[in-house]
Amino acid sequence: MTITSIEPVKERRSRKKKQIVDERAPLLPSKQDEEVGFDEFNGASFTGAVFNLSTTIVGAGIMALPATMKVLGLGPGIIMIIFMAFLTETSIEMLLRFSKAGKSASYGGLMGVAFGKAGRMLLQICVVINNVGVLVVYMIIIGDVLSGTSASGVHHAGLLEGWFGVHWWSGRFFVLVVTTLAIFAPLACFKRVDSLRFTSALSVALAVVFVVITAGITIVKIFNGSIAMPRWLPVVNDMTAFFKLFTVVPVLVTAYICHYNGMNT
């Protein structure tokens, strides 16, 4: 009678139980009731995901893209925007595919699998810094639009000052405090990103209106001859103009950023 260890048998059984992930498998389930491993995403609507990702991609960067075109010129600017869109789509596809293979349901969890605990913490810190920076940009835009701004000793009145005159409640400080407490704070308290689908849809609609109005005004002014035709190539006369080309890098890099909303952070 021979005595054999049962450990190899258990190991063989455990190997049989492991599922082999096909790298050609679809990133999303094809049916609504198909079993998925990420239970925390169940219940999120497709429409909400589209609007949330769209408003994250568009964001305040849509107002900085004209400055990018002014620096790079129309030709290189369009090429760089298309190139960054391609890089963003490729990187998101890689994240989704490897999150399925690694059974990781969050952006931070995927970074933890790839780079360990330190990598996950570094990613979360970068996401927080990015979100705070974007929030500061939103606050500046809201303050300039509603309360006006001053440049070179000239004050440009905002909407509230233009409609109701100069009052204490139309000042930048009061407007930003009310906006933070009445709008930003309640929206930041939602636990699920899918809860922001209605505000995201409104944001996308306003972005479309902004683009249509800006394009219409530009076309009319070009035909009237009040503005010159845009340059196709950048003007590089000296080293200062050459280094100025690199100022568009932050705008282009963050133009389509939506990876932390594509997955749960």
Residue 16 confidence (pLDDT) = 45
Which amino acid appears at position 14 of this protein? S
Q: Count up the domains in the chain and report the number.
A: 1
Neighbours of 146 (CB within 10 A): 19
Decide if 30 contacts 38 (C-beta within 8 A). Answer: no
Query: Within a domain: residue 105?
Result: yes
21 in a structural domain:
no
> Over the stretch 72-93, which tens digit does the pLDDT of each residue have?
888 888 888 888 888 888 888 8
Give the tens place of pLDDT for each residue, 99-158: 777 777 777 788 888 888 888 888 888 888 887 887 887 888 888 888 888 777 777 778
- Say if residue 32's pLDDT is above 60: no
The pLDDT of residue 34:
44
What is the average pLDDT score of the chain? 76
Output the pLDDT for position 217. Answer: 87
Assess whether pLDDT exceeds 70 at residue 55.
Answer: yes
Between 221 and 153, residue with greater pLDDT = 221
The amino acid at residue 185 is: A
Q: Give the DSSP H or E segment for 156.
A: strand 154-156
How much is the pLDDT for 43?
52
DSSP-assigned states of every residue in 25-77? S-SS-SSTT---S-GGGTT--HHHHHHHHHHHHHGGGGGTHHHHHHHH-HHHH
Half-sphere exposure of 25 (CA within 13 A, CB side): 15
- pLDDT confidence of 44, banded at 50, 70, 90? low
Q: Assess if residue 249 is contained within a domain.
A: yes
22 found inside a domain: no
Domain annotation covers residue 2? no
The answer on pLDDT for 253 being more than 60 is yes
pLDDT of residue 28: 46
Q: What is the pLDDT of residue 81?
A: 85
Q: What is the pLDDT of residue 42?
A: 52
The partner residues of 264 in beta bridges, in order of sequence, read 106
* pLDDT number for residue 219: 86
Instruction: For residue 7, tell me if it sits in a domain.
Output: no
DSSP code string of 114-152: HHHHHHHHHHHHHHHHHHHHHHHHHHHHHHHHHH-EEET
Phi, psi (5° rounding) for residue 126?
Answer: -65, -40
Report yes or no on 54 lying in a domain. yes
Mean pLDDT calculated for residue range 51-64: 75
State the CB neighbour count (10 A cutoff) for residue 33. Answer: 6
pLDDT-derived band at 54, boundaries 50, 70, 90:
confident
Across 50-76, average pLDDT: 79
Mean pLDDT of 216-245: 83
pLDDT of res. 60: 65
Please give the residue range of the domain that contains residue 215. 47-262
The answer to whether 88 and 256 have CB atoms below 8 angstroms apart is yes
Residue 160 resides in a domain: yes
Is pLDDT above 80 for 211? yes
The encoded tokens of residue 141 equal 């835009």
Q: Residue 263 — pLDDT band, cuts 50, 70, 90? A: low
Residue 18 has pLDDT above 80, yes or no: no
- Assess contact for 234 and 72: CB atoms under 8 A: yes
Opening angle at CA 123, ends 88 and 195, nearest 5? 70
